[in-house]
Structure 1
């Protein structure tokens, strides 16, 4: 299983730090030349590899951390995303009518033909997401939602490897609405920083 993060702003770098802390290799890409952010990747750790978008989309599991309006351009990088798991880490305040009345992740899923899509890691601000999730004897929670139970379980296992405590919310149009943006209203779990104790 190999991983990529597409988008290397504050949130993309926060995710990269989670991989680096656990010695897990991950490719990072933007639409820019990898040389332009190679020093930022190197500063995070040796398991973080800057690459091109063309190379990044070859990964099995891809964190999508671009601006919401940029996701259609990323989707065009492959004609068919079958066999890939996309983790939608984006947030948007686009009004529901611009999303065909769908939850934002269901709208995104339509752009990535054939992919299994999981909404996750989006409810924590970058400054918190980038911290060690081991907190006061507990683990920081990440919420996951997907219409594919197998993909949700797979991403849950990855979240645990990264040190987080995953909580499954169900499908995108059910529990997933709790972490979706809907116009100018945020889902009820957005920006909640919760800890679970085993």
Structure 2
């Protein structure tokens, strides 16, 4: 599979690093254009290239790693998802303080994302982990970093599970997008900020 990443901040670069280390090709994108990512992709190596958001979104599996308030704009130019997998790593937080959480009513964050990416098979993942647990090698002497994920499409979930395991995480299926998303959601979800290791 080819992979795309929308958002080149700390999370996006960390995911790109894991994918490249596993031998995959990655297209990294941001809102400022590929010309601003030269140093980043050079550091990642020849398997990483810079592209537009549309080019990144053309990959088989795409990771969304932008700020919450940037989601609509980040996805607006993608004409069609055609069943491609979109991994939503975001949290509905509009600022640094706990009170900056965005109230979506009965919706989960990934349901909001899915509405902005019609035709995508959305997987929720990585949002329960602080960046400092995502960036380094998730394999430790004591075990592998647990990675919770949720989604509604069985094949997409299987593809994501295989990938997460390949790059070193211990993936755990948290259920469908709505129910699992609630468990993983910042501000009350019991899996949010749960950092634990699985012994192999």
**TM-score between the two structures when normalised by the length of structure 2:** 0.90
Moved over 6 A (4+): none
Equivalent of 1:192, from 171, 191, 194? 194
Residue 146 of structure 1: aligned partner: 151
Which residue among 102, 105, 112 is the counterpart of 1:95?
A: 102
Q: What does residue 22 of structure 1 align with?
A: 22
Kept after mapping to 1: 8 A contact 2:139/2:168: yes
C-alpha contact 1:141 1:194 (8 A) present in aligned 2: yes
- Count residues with an aligned counterpart: 193
Contact 1:124 1:191 in 2 (8 A): yes
SS of residue matched to 1:132: coil
1:83 and 1:2 map into 2 onto residues whose CA distance is 15
Contact 2:53 2:78 in 1 (8 A): no
1:37-48 matches, within 5 Å, as: 37-48=37-48
Alignment deviations for residues 64-102 of structure 1 (CA, whole Å, 9 cap, x no partner) = 001111111122222321221100000113433xx3520
Mapped to 2, the partners of 1:35 and 1:13 lie a distance apart of: 16
Unmatched runs of 5 consecutive residues or more in structure 1 = none
Measure the CA separation in 2 of the matches of 1:25 and 1:80: 22
- After TM superposition, the structure 1 = structure 2 runs for residues 101-180 of structure 1, keeping only pairs within 5 Å, are 101-180=106-185
Q: Distance in 2 between matches of 1:31 and 1:171?
A: 30
Conserved 8 A contact 1:105-1:180: no
Contact 2:5–2:57 (8 Å) recurs in 1: no
Aligned pairs for 1:52-63 (under 5 A) are 52-63=52-63
DSSP 3-state at the match of 1:40: helix
Aligned to 1:85: 85
Q: Is the 8 A contact 1:24 1:47 kept in 2?
A: yes
Rounded Cα–Cα distance in structure 2 between residues aligned with 1:46 and 1:124: 28
Inter-partner Cα distance in structure 2 for 1:101 and 1:191: 21
Structure 2 regions of 5+ residues with no counterpart?
Answer: 94-100
Query: Is this contact kept in 1: 2:2–2:24, CA < 8 A?
Result: no
* CA pair 186-30 structure 1, distance change in 2 beyond 3 A: farther
